[in-house]
Amino acid sequence: MNPPTLRHLPALGLGLLLLSGCGLAPNRLAGSPPSATPPAALPAAPPARATPTPPLEHQALARVLKRVVDRDGLVDYRRLQRDPGDLETYLAELGAVPAASFAAWDETEQIAFLINAYNALTLASIIRQEPIRPSIRDIWGVWNLTRHRVAGEAVTLDHIEHGILRRRYDEPRIHAALVCAAISCPPLRQEPFRGASLEHQLEDQSRRWLRSRHGLQIDRAAGTVGISAIFQWFGDDWKRRYATDHGFGRHRDRRAVLNFISGYVSAADRDLLRRGDYRLSVLEYDWSLNSQPDGS
């Protein structure tokens, strides 16, 4: 993920989005190259007589994540680059899913599929560079120009994140699950997301992210609280679920995200956050590659 700027979104791919009725979603960095031609819309519902395929089991991605991701969520990109077979298999599976089948899945399966697609395509974007770049930001057009086959359509990473996930689903915890290959991103899981366990996985991801120094820093002695820049870039995404008129002192414009954060910290830290008597800042975002020390 990346800080958004306002511009016209691509046409909504994965055609079920045509029915969402949401407003424009913001995109990423100012100065980014202009977007390529918008993807065509897919059917909004399975055709009559079609037999939707069941949701992916994500087994190939599971093998990738188990092999190259450590407990801290860092990636051995060199190892993955030497042996990308399982990842390429998974990318082929993403593209082979019929649009009508995707539209027939329940919401949890769709969200899990799209998060996995984003994360897997990000891994592929990194290892297809030689040499591997120090930062994903060094790859021209990686977010808004390069197209990938997902559910039968050619879409960009930007479109998956901003045009589909953020626009279609009221689920701000996706920001704890989407990993854009930067050190300050949330940690990459050692397992894929799955519809049946999505609630538990998103809760666990949110907790892990906010326990890391890249998600939240509370310094009682200094009277400061630092929050990830993700909360600044996408703060409105938390308002529908977490908006409140109570607590958090003078930090009224951050109440929704602070209310969210307070659900994942200790009781003492929750009380501190709700009192609001601290200086609130946004943590500097480290765009260095989220590689293991000997894996880049």
Enter the pTM of the model: 0.86
Break the chain into its structural domains and give their ranges.
15-23+56-211, 216-282
225 contacts 273 by C-beta, under 8 angstroms: yes
- Pairwise CA distance, residues 115 & 168, whole Å: 13
Q: Is 150 helix (H, G, I), strand (E, B) or coil?
A: strand
Between vectors from CA 220 to CA 215 and to CA 226, what angle results, nearest 5°? 25
Band the pLDDT of 1: cuts 50, 70, 90.
Answer: confident
pLDDT tens-place string over residues 79-115: 999 999 999 999 999 999 999 999 999 999 999 999 9
Q: Taking Cα atoms as reference points, which of 9, 13, 10 lies closest to residue 41? A: 13
pLDDT tens-place string over residues 156-205: 999 999 999 999 999 999 999 999 999 999 999 999 999 999 999 999 99
pLDDT tens-place string over residues 200-213: 999 999 999 999 99
